[in-house]
Chain A
Amino acid sequence: MLTKLGLNLRYPFVFLGFFSVVTACTPAPDGVTVFDPYEEQNRQVHEFNKSVFNSFFGSGGSDTEIPPEIADTVVNFADNISMPGMALNGLLQGNFEAALTNAARFVVNTTFGIGGIADLATELGLEEQETDFGETLAIWGVPEGAYLELPILGPSTERAFAGRIVDSLIDPLDEVGFAFQSDYSLAATIAKRIVRGSQLSGTIDSVLSESADSYAQQRLIYLQNRRFELGTTPEEEAVDPYDELFGDP
């Protein structure tokens, strides 16, 4: 059901789903880094995801490396078709510079980058300004909500998940891109996930199979990284181990 919502995005009922998700967002209380009221269900999904990861990449991580040329082509194409959506989010966030950069990237790479398989824009200094509707919601003041582990898609939060759904609904690719870009968008997105999964398989595997509590480790790593990307890392997270040992300086 969740994967269906995540991938199959053009049905009106999804709107209803979105509003119930947003209203279900619970603000995380101050000082609490992790808010996980759905832990029991999340842990079940985690076990499922672990088995999917292991059957895909094998326990111990992937040894068969995808040739870099193929990996780059796939990632470039998938990144490029996500530019219109990122540009739109830039506008919604009032970050016009980022919106313009991502829009320019799309134009440059779709034309001179042969439909997006080459990333000339980065070489020209137009670096991707990664964003999504989850970040737009964060900027609009929507709280992060509860932690979620989604089937296949992995760690998320209520806000990030709501953002994913909206991103697929408002994606302007169909309007501004070529037909081949829309036609291959789902396949390219899945292929990119496989490439990234393979590149990071050693790291992901070390968390999933070597941690004493892989669910808790993945949750902590995801939340810290997501808050870092959104620039919302709380100040009190700065750790002073000497304080504990010697008291205040």
Chain B
Amino acid sequence: MFRRQFLVGTVALTLPTSSLAVSPAAAQSMVEDLVDDVNAVIASGASEQAMIDQFGQILNRYADVPTIARYCLGVDARRATASQMAQYTDAFQDYIASKYGRRFREFVGGEVRVVGSEAVKSWVEVETTVLLRGRSPLQMDWHVSNRSGRNAFFNFIIEGVNMLLTEREEIGAMLDRRRGSIDALISDMKAV
């Protein structure tokens, strides 16, 4: 507890007030709320489907899903119609909630803790550690920005594995498999 306050304090003192839109302290405080919600889901011992639903709500509250979705579609986002984009973004949100929500089951008995935060480029990186039962802890970094108009995370990195980069490749592969059809991609994503 002391360490956390100390870290926030040092960051606030050493950083000059810059054009940085989101302050490390504000970003960290957002991730602390997020982590509380995540820990509540882990501790609830709920069914897999319930965990996926709750993770979907966490994404709604804390993530900039439209930006993440658009980035993962890559250059193909430019040729998508507005209606396709809206459907794709919805499907993407469910896809992420389901894919990562299912992994939450493996976190049961563990918890996430906030370690500290620092400004990186135009955003703030908040470092957390995922403590797991009987395994080495994992480092999980959250990238927080307010360029969507509110404080929200747009990426997370688990032990160096960057969600945006990894999902951009996966969505690209899904699209290739459907010979570039965005409509087919949307229906595939709903099936995951």
Contacts and interface: CB of A to CB of B under 8 A. Distances in A.
Interface string B167-179: 0011001101100
Contacts of B67: 241-242, 245
A72 B134 contact: yes
A235 B137 CA distance: 24
B166 A68 contact: no
B70 A240 contact: no
B160 A229 contact: yes
B46 to A, nearest CB: 17
Given A202-B103, A203-B106, A240-B123, A212 B176 contact: yes
A33 B134 CA distance: 33
A189 B106 CA distance: 23
Interface string A218-249: 00110011111100010001111110111001
A242 B147 contact: yes
Contact of B161 (A71, A202, A221, A241): A221
A240 B68 CA distance: 10
B120 A238 contact: yes
B150 interface: no
B99 interface: yes
Contacts of B103: 202-203, 206
Contact of A199 (B70, B102, B135): B135
B164 interface: yes
B16 to A, nearest CB: 17
Interface string A190-215: 00000000010011001000111100
A226 B71 CA distance: 24
B165 to A, nearest CB: 6
A216 interface: yes
Given A72-B134, A241-B155, A249-B122, A216 B173 contact: yes
A242 B19 CA distance: 16
A226 B176 CA distance: 27
A239 B99 contact: no
B1 interface: no
Given A203-B106, A249-B147, A217 B170 contact: yes
Interface in B51-104: 67-68, 70-71, 99, 102-103
Nearest to A34: B169
Chain B's interface size range is: 35 or more
* Residue with the highest number of chain A CB atoms closer than 10 Å, among B134, B136, B154, B192: B134
A229 B122 CA distance: 25
Contacts of A212: 170, 173-174, 176-177
Contacts of B160: 224-229, 233
Interface in A81-130: 128
Given A202-B103, A237-B162, A239-B162, A245 B177 contact: no
Contact of B155 (A128, A229, A239): A239
Given A72-B134, A199-B135, A210-B192, A241 B68 contact: yes
Nearest to A241: B71
B161 A225 contact: yes
Interface in B135-149: 135-136, 145, 147
A71 B154 CA distance: 37
Interface in A55-79: 68, 71-72
Interface in A17-67: 33
A2 B67 CA distance: 44
Nearest to A71: B134
6 contacts: A224-B166, A228-B161, A238-B120, A239-B162, A239-B164, A240-B123
Interface of A: 33, 68, 71-72, 128, 199, 202-203, 206, 210-213, 216-217, 220-221, 224-229, 233, 237-242, 244-246, 249
Interface of B: 19, 67-68, 70-71, 99, 102-103, 105-106, 120-123, 133-136, 145, 147, 154-155, 159-162, 164-166, 169-170, 173-174, 176-177, 192
